Every structure is written in C-alpha cells, then in structure tokens.
A = this chain, B = another copy of it.
C-alpha cells in the first residue's frame, strides 16, 4: 500500500479522498470506460493555486504520479491515471475571475465549463469562439490541455489560439505565468504554446486568460443536401478554396444521418449533408449567396439557410451525433473515435478512401466532423464482443490514419494523444521528432511526476484498442 500520508500535511484533509467511490470515478473517462480501469490511489480536490502547488511539489518529492482530471470528457484516455498516484480533480476551481470587455479578455480557473464562460462574457456582448462541441460538459483546463477545436475552428482557430496567458504549476511545484496579457509578445520562448496541448504532462494550468470576440450582429445557419457523398466533400473543398467566410461547415454523411434518425428520432434526409453557419456584422447575404453558388456547382439538391431558429435544432443534433452513432445499434461498438485531419485539397479523397475501406471490409464507417478544416471524425463499427471483428476494425482504423499521414495529415486534430494515439506518434513525427518532445518532457518534469504514461509510447501503457 502506497503511503500517501504526506498529502494531508500539505493540503486540508477535507480536500483529499481515499475512498473507493471517488477513486472509481477517476479511473476512466469517456474514451476508456469499460476498456481501461486505472484507479488512482487518492483523489485531491484543490481549491487554489497554492493547493495545486503544494500537492504537485510534495508528490514530486515523494515519487508519486499526479494526473490532472476535470470533466472526464477526453476521447483518448488523456486524464486516466495509468500509473496510479493522485488524480488531481480541478473541478472545484471553476470560477470566472475577471471579465475585461475593453481588452476582450477573461481570466478563468481551469475547472470552469466552456458554456459557463460564454454565459458570463455574453452579458458583455462577447463570446469565446473556439469552444468544442462538448463545451456544455468540458472544462477550459481540459480544452487547453488537448488544444481542443470545435465547429467554429474553421473561422476562428483552435482553443490554443485564444489563450493569451496561463498560470501553471510546474512539476517541482513552482508557479509561473507564461504568455502575456499584451496581445502579442516575442519575449523569450513561447512557453504558453508549449503548455497548450501538452495534456498535463508538463504542468498544471491553474488560471488562464482567454481572448474573446464580439458576438456577431448577424448569424445565419442551415443545411445543404447533396446527392452523393463525393459531391458534398468536393463542395466543401471548393468553398474553402474559394475563400468563403464561413463559421461552421460540417459534413454529416447519409449513414450518420440514418443513425441519428434511429437514435434521436429526427427526420433527416437519407443523404449526405453539409451543415453551415455564417457570422457577420453586416452583409451576411453576400457569403451565404457565394456559398450557395459554389455548392450549386456541385449539384446541391437543397440549400436551406436562414436567420430563424430552425438551425438551432441542427446544431443540437450535430452535437449529439457522436453519441447517436455509438448507441443506434446496440450490437455494434466503435473501434475508437477517429480524428484525422488532411490538407483541404485531400479532403474528398480521404472521405472516399474511408468509404472504400468500409465497402471492402463490410463494416459501417459513418463520417462527420469539421469538414472545412479537412477534419474527419469517423467511427469504425464492429460486432460487439467479437475478437476477430475488433481486430479487423482496428486494422481498418489504422489504415485510415496511415492514409491521412501519407498525404501530410495528422492522426489527431483536436483530441490529443493520451493513450489512444501513442502508437502513431513516431510515424507522424519521426524518431528524432519524438525524441525532441521527450527531451522537453524530461527537462520540465525530470522525475516523471505529471501524467506519466501519456503522449509518448510507454511500454507499460494500456492499449485502448
């Protein structure tokens, strides 16, 4: 039994839990539920930066792993404590500290939900543009840790692009601020950007200054229906290439639409669709009409875009799509959440390749996601509890990643590496590239205290699929 008595020397004992229920709840996340069971030895609920500093510093001294945890909505097992130790649950640190509308900035604690930030800054006519689809359930800390993206990344960029400054507790417990409240700086290394996307392996973010933007005066949204998937994918590529100013442009293939209808009781057409949304302060019709005309070149069958609230239902549906696909047929299970990104010119090809593999192997692979970024979310669905089927599904999943990498793409656009994507790291970055990342890890966390077993291919890391 690991001796964790030192914890209550450095933090109030009311914030430390050794009980089974708390530990069970932190043993998995969305991605690992039922696949990986990695119980921490204790769960700590810090309330201040000082708490985090004290706990991390003491754990570093005692050779005890610390794995930050928040909403548990990760899709790669990023927050699962595969080597035990302390699960550092930041959800008590959920305050919106300071809104500064004049500077388009807000300071928040890491455990605050994305939507709660938007509610708060919305009163000032502002919003945080890059929120992921799970913004109603995910925390800002988790989003920073994975450099999350979302439906509006096509126009506004990723979460990391909207972080001005972070307060971080490093492995030795020291507290630093990286970045600046100034809009730009070239003062030393871009450590803020190194922390973003490092999945809690280099430091624990205890406060973030986020950049905001004025809510657009005009928002129009809706959907376009195509007769073939190839038409839909080519239309997206052509729209992006033509420089349309679109805030969301999402693919939903016929298979995904059918599963949504089954599970969510919607009545989407049995056809490939592109959901779109436009943001502008004036003249929004210009971009809508431009997009329509590009889509017409690709034989769009219906183009229904307007200012009414009907589009809200589409976006609600889009947000639930991943769950709907997982649940629509109880005899199937997904291999793993797919998140490839390819250069936009390769997007139609990537979608085509997935469907070819689907046909060849006789497995359904519904596709959706942030098409304008060249991002495909896909789920290879296989018969539950059939080992051979899972093995074949994994093979198909990996072939899709290989294809993306072969055209200059990435294995993970916004979900991070965690456990699930470790096996692709060397293929994507080369041995020297991964070695360089590892050198940075060793420099900032020499004892391997922070979220060990993640990002890099750890021999002892449990395989998720």
Which residues of A are interface residues toward B (Cβ below 8 A)? 100-105, 146-149, 153, 158, 160-161, 170, 174-178, 180-191, 193-194, 196-198, 202, 213-214, 237, 241, 243, 245, 281-283, 286, 341-345, 373-375, 404, 408-417, 421, 424-425, 428-430, 432-437, 439-444, 455
Contact = CB atoms under 8 A, between A and B. Distances in A.
A156 to B, nearest CB: 11
Nearest to A430: B176
Contact of A183 (B103, B341, B440): B341
A303 B193 CA distance: 40
A463 to B, nearest CB: 18
Contacts of A429: 176-178, 187-188
A65 B96 CA distance: 48
7 contacts: A161-B161, A170-B432, A187-B429, A188-B425, A189-B437, A243-B281, A436-B444
B343 A183 contact: yes
Given A193-B193, A343-B103, A343-B105, A373 B184 contact: yes
A184 B411 contact: no
Which interface residue of A103, A158, A439 has the most chain B CB atoms within 10 A? A103
A187 B374 contact: no
Nearest to A455: B188
A161 B184 CA distance: 11
A223 B409 CA distance: 44
Nearest to A189: B437
A1 B223 CA distance: 73
B187 A436 contact: no
Contacts of A283: 282-283, 286
B186 A148 contact: yes
Contacts of A213: 243
Contact of A344 (B103, B344, B443): B103
Given A183-B374, A187-B412, A194-B194, 12 more contacts: A100-B343, A103-B343, A148-B186, A158-B184, A175-B432, A178-B429, A180-B408, A182-B342, A282-B283, A440-B440, A440-B444, A442-B443
Given A183-B374, A283-B286, A241 B102 contact: yes
Contacts of A444: 436, 439-440
Nearest to A105: B343
B182 A343 contact: yes
A428 B187 contact: yes
Given A176-B436, A188-B425, A429-B187, A413 B194 contact: no
Contacts of A442: 443
A181 B440 contact: no
A428 B185 CA distance: 11
A105 B407 CA distance: 14
A161 B237 CA distance: 22
A429 to B, nearest CB: 6
Contact of A417 (B180, B181, B186, B345): B186
A339 to B, nearest CB: 9
A175 to B, nearest CB: 7
A176 B432 CA distance: 6
A185 B436 contact: no
Contacts of A374: 182-183
Contacts of A344: 102-104, 183
A416 B186 contact: yes
A413 B178 CA distance: 15
Contacts of A430: 176-177
A414 B441 CA distance: 28
Contacts of A188: 197, 417, 425, 428-429, 433-434, 437, 455
Given A102-B345, A443-B443, A186 B414 contact: yes
A434 to B, nearest CB: 7
Given A175-B432, A430-B177, A149 B440 contact: no
Nearest to A102: B345
